[in-house]
Amino acid sequence: MAVLAGSGADTAEKKREKLKEPDECRVILLNDDYTTMEFVVEILMLIFHKNEEEAGRIMMDVHRKGKGVVGMYPWDIARTKANQVHAIARKHEYPLMCIVE
Q: Which range in 10-18, 46-54, 57-65, 77-85 contacts ligand TYC by CB under 6 A?
A: 57-65
Binders of ligand TYC among residues 71 to 100 (CB under 6 A) are 96
27 binds ligand TYC per the rule CB under 6 A: no
| 43 alpha carbon, distance to own chain's centre | 14
48 binds ligand TYC per the rule CB under 6 A: no
Q: How many residues bind ligand TYC (CB under 6 A)?
A: 13
Other Cβ atoms closer than 10 A to 1 = 6
∠ Cα 35 84 82 (to 5°)? 80
Q: Which of 7, 11, 36, 51 binds ligand TYC (CB under 6 A)?
A: 36
Q: Which residues bind ligand TYC (CB under 6 A)?
A: 29-33, 35-37, 40, 59, 62-63, 96
